[in-house]
Structure 1
Amino acid sequence: MNSKILHILFILSSNLVFSEISNFSRQTIDLGVVVKDIQKSLKFYKDIIGFSEKEGFNVSGSFPKKVGLTDGTELKIHVLTLGDEESATKLKLMQVKGLKATRLVKQKFIHTIAGFSYLTIFVEDVELIQKNAKKFGYLPVAESPQILPKGFPQDVCLLMLKDPDGNFVEIVGPLTSTLKNAP
């Protein structure tokens, strides 16, 4: 009887071990973004948001076409990170100079087009981002920043910006002084 119980416990525990094994080698994703003007985009993400630029790379030769990235056009990738750890999230910006010009899609709201709609970046100081954005001529979208809706932490706010290509960038962090002092 004891051996049957031990056998059942062994099977159950081995299933738990196998169910926790993941096929992911990293717990973050890298996101590639094609931009119209690399200098404007680098300025936005580095000087306003606070990303750090790391060593970038080129993808040339026949590889970009063979894997379906481009029509054969070379890619020069600028790698930006949130933090210095090897596992930090990477935003890969590129301006592609191909046969056809990069087309901007007007995205009035996040549900206007299908696909990736916005980035969410968690920060320690929303006001710093807001000041940097204003300094470089970027205004908050609509009436942001706003305190998160009821049911979410009430000491957190969301500032919505748009990057130079019109992509939504959510900045989430502690309340700004204006929101803290609001009635």
Structure 2
Amino acid sequence: MAFLAKRCSGSNVGGASAAPRPVEEHTGNQRLHNDFTEVHSMDGRVMSSKIVVSDLARSLAFYKGLFGFKEAARLEFCDPDVTEVVLEDVSGARCFVLLQGDVMPVPSVPGWAPLVVQIDDIQAARDEAERSGYELAIEPISFGPVSILMVADPDGYLVEVVSGDPDGLDAAPAGQKIPHPIPQIHDRK
């Protein structure tokens, strides 16, 4: 850490006033550059997200029925008793884990789920959520080539549902600004 503190202090070794040259030092797998463009110890990839649920059957019905997820694996643990259900999306990627256990209660106000689901038709998703009796936290809104809605799962986690091409959205279209959905989410019952 002395290395980082020295680099961050702004001291100039040798009194030279020129900008420092990029220097790379290795400590195990960690790569440190004096311009701090890359600092990590290993190459990480997002594997999945997990949420704690109160009723696995009810949550499975939501994620399978609304988004077409499939149960890829079910893991039963003891001491303490915990069940994890690994879900895969329509591409076959294992993307989300539902976790239920007596020692891990669902948060009293779950809020935003760590899940964004891309679908083809935002209006069809909205209609299906409503038909199935799920709470719409926000109605569909559009921003450039992207439309989103927020739907609450059975425990109240808010799942962001997106249609369109989010990769095509580099910046807001000229002059277009829309209200962020956060106030609407906090105002819901």
Give the alignment's Cα RMSD to 1 decimal. 3.1
For residues 77-107 of structure 1, the C-alpha deviation after alignment (integer angstroms, 9 at most, x for no partner) is 111112344xx242111221x2x68244125
> Is residue 134 of structure 1 aligned with residue 130 of structure 2?
yes
* Larger relative helix fraction: 1
Counterpart position of 1:81? 88
Task: Point out where structure 1 has 5 or more consecutive residues left out of the alignment.
Answer: 1-11, 61-71, 111-115, 149-153, 176-183
SS in 2 for 1:95: strand
Contact kept? 1:48, 1:129, Cα under 8 Å: yes
Q: 1:117 to 1:133 in 2, by over 3 A?
A: closer
In structure 2, how many angstroms separate the alpha carbons of the residues matched to 1:81 and 1:156?
Answer: 24
Give the fraction of aligned pairs with identical amino acids, expressed as a percent.
25
SS in 1 for 2:130: helix
For residues 122-164 of structure 1, the C-alpha deviation after alignment (integer angstroms, 9 at most, x for no partner) is 222223322321221013214x11012xxxxx12111110111
Give runs of aligned pairs for residues 36-115 of structure 1, distance below 5 A: 36-60=54-78, 72-85=79-92, 88-96=93-101, 98=102, 102-107=105-110
Task: Point out where structure 2 has 5 or more consecutive residues left out of the alignment.
Answer: 1-21, 26-30, 33-37, 166-189
Q: 1:55 to 1:89 in 2, by over 3 A?
A: closer
In structure 1, how many angstroms separate the alpha carbons of the residues matched to 2:87 and 2:59?
Answer: 11
Counterpart position of 1:165? 155
* Structure 1 stretches of 4+ moved >3 Å: 18-26
1:146 to 138, 141, 150: 141
Deviation at 1:51, TM superposition (A): 1.3
In structure 1, how many angstroms separate the alpha carbons of the residues matched to 2:132 and 2:41?
Answer: 42
Q: 1:29 to 1:23 in 2, by over 3 A?
A: farther
* Larger relative strand fraction: 2
* Amino acid aligned to 1:31: S
- TM-score, normalising length from structure 2? 0.58
Q: 1:84 to 1:146 in 2, by over 3 A?
A: closer
Counterpart position of 2:50? 32
Q: 1:30 to 1:136 in 2, by over 3 A?
A: same
1:119 to 115, 119, 142: 115
Contact kept? 1:79, 1:92, Cα under 8 Å: yes
In structure 1, how many angstroms separate the alpha carbons of the residues matched to 2:128 and 2:42?
Answer: 36
* Amino acid aligned to 2:145: D
For residues 40-76 of structure 1, the C-alpha deviation after alignment (integer angstroms, 9 at most, x for no partner) is 100111101221211222223xxxxxxxxxxx31222
In structure 1, how many angstroms separate the alpha carbons of the residues matched to 2:80 and 2:91?
Answer: 30
SS in 1 for 2:127: helix
Q: Which has the higher contact order (CA 8 A, sep 6+)?
A: 1
Q: 1:81 to 1:24 in 2, by over 3 A?
A: farther
- TM-score, normalising length from structure 1? 0.59
Equivalent residues, number: 135
